[in-house]
Homo-oligomer: A and B are copies of this chain.
Amino acid sequence: MVQQYSSALLEKAVGEFSKLPGIGRKTALRLVLFMLRREEGDVDQFVDAIARMKREVKYCRVCHNISDTEVCPICSDPRRDASVICVVENVQDVLAVENTQQFHGLYHVLGGIISPMDGIGPADLEIDSLVQRVAAGGVKEVILALSSTMEGDTTNFYISRKLADYPVKLSVIARGISVGDELEYTDEVTLGRSILNRTPFNQ
């Protein structure tokens, strides 16, 4: 590529920023110039925080969530209900479920979902370790909280087969019309499922 800026150092920094997802060269330049205007100490802090995180962050030995310690704060919290495991695709989904404040069990982060199109098979995911957790006993329910897509359904089905031999209750998060959605604009598959999975009114 032809050099665009009057400084190769600037060029390099812009190039690095524009490798990040959703950041083009214009935004990258804006971010880099912002960095140039900041105090030296602030930039050091930024750089150190990223380098340290990359170097030191661990994945929880039990649930594979991001953690600073061998076992994450959720898995090691005695107030959480260890008999219920919520299976999610990734770290963001743990945050999403945590934010609802409706779940008090433990998690299991698969690290993706089965997607033949992207070359991701069951062996690439933390499915065996989930089966081991269930096999170790003490787990009464496994909640599958994956995306409502073909890939999510495939992964749900695969996990259900793997857990079929264990005395554990398997459930899937409810699918239906979103809170605040108008019926008129709900797609027919969602609406159909929400009718099939109707719940008693006063629940």
Indicate if A56 sits at the interface (CB-CB under 8 A). Answer: yes
B16 near A36: Cβ-Cβ < 8 Å:
no
Indicate if A9 sits at the interface (CB-CB under 8 A). Answer: yes
A31 to B68, CA, bound (A): 19
Residues A62-95 near B (CB distance < 8 A) = 65-68, 72-74, 90-92, 94-95
Shortest CB-to-CB span from A76 to chain B, Å, is 10
Q: Which residues of B contact A32 (CB under 8 A)?
A: 50, 53
Q: Which residues of B contact A95 (CB under 8 A)?
A: 4-5, 29
A73 near B30: Cβ-Cβ < 8 Å:
no
Copies in the complex: 2
B57 near A9: Cβ-Cβ < 8 Å:
yes
B22 near A40: Cβ-Cβ < 8 Å:
no
Indicate if A120 sits at the interface (CB-CB under 8 A). Answer: no
Indicate if A164 sits at the interface (CB-CB under 8 A). Answer: no
A54 near B40: Cβ-Cβ < 8 Å:
yes
Indicate if A161 sits at the interface (CB-CB under 8 A). Answer: no
Contacts A4-B95, A56-B9 given; indicate if A31 touches B35 (C-beta within 8 A): no
